[in-house]
C-alpha cells in the first residue's frame, strides 16, 4: 500500500492551511536545508500527518516559522550541531528524534549518545510503516 492510499482510506489528521512554493523556499532558507522531493510533497500536500497515537512534525500556513518542524529542528541543532543537515520529523521523547535528510532518507537520533542511525527507509515508507503499526 502507498502512503496516499492509506491516508485516503483512514482517518488521518492533517493541516487545514498548507504552505505554497514561496513559503517553502522561505522555510528552506530559514533552516538552511534543501527539502527532498518527498518532504516537499508531504509539507505542501498535508502540512503534517497524525494517525491515532502517531504524530509527525510539519509546517502549516497558520504557524509558519513557529510550526513544530521548524522550532524543533532549530532547537535540536542548537543543542546538537551534528544534526544541522537534517530536519526533525518526529519527537519520540526522552531525547529520541526521527530526522530526515535532504534526500528524504530517515534516521533515528539519540540526543544522549549523540548517535545518528540510518533506518534504511525513505520518508513515505517510514510514515506508512508507523501508521500501519498503529492501525
pLDDT tens sequence across 61-113: 998 999 999 999 999 999 999 999 999 999 988 899 999 999 999 999 999 99
What's the pLDDT at 37? Answer: 96
Please give the model's pTM, rounded to 2 decimal places: 0.94
Q: Rounded to 5 degrees, what are φ and ψ at 48? A: -160, 170
Contact in structure between 62 and 17 (CB atoms under 8 Å): yes
| CA angle (6, 25, 98) in 5-degree steps | 45
pLDDT tens for each residue of 31-60: 999 999 999 999 999 999 999 999 999 999
What number of other Cβ atoms are within 10 A of residue 37's Cβ? 12
Counting Cβ atoms within 10 Å, is residue 44 exposed (0-12), middle (13-18) or buried (19+)?
Answer: middle
Amino acid at each position: 500500500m502507498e502512503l496516499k492510499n492509506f491516508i485516503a482510506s483512514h482517518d488521518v489528521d492533517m493541516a487545514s492551511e498548507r504552505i505554497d512554493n514561496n513559503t517553502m523556499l522561505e522555510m528552506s532558507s530559514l533552516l538552511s536545508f534543501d527539502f527532498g522531493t518527498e518532504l516537499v510533497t508531504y509539507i505542501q500536500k498535508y502540512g503534517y500527518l497524525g494517525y491515532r497515537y502517531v504524530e509527525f512534525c510539519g509546517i502549516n500556513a497558520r504557524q509558519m516559522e513557529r510550526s513544530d518542524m521548524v522550532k524543533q529542528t532549530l532547537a535540536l541543532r542548537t543543542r546538537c550541531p551534528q544534526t544541522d543537515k537534517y530536519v526533525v520529523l518526529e519527537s519520540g521523547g526522552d531525547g529520541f528524534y526521527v530526522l530526515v535528510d535532504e534526500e528524504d532518507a530517515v534516521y533515528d537520533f539519540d540526543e544522549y549518545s549523540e548517535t545518528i542511525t540510518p533506518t534504511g527507509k525513505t520518508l513515505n515508507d517510514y510514515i506508512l510503516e508507523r501508521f500501519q503499526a498503529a492501525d
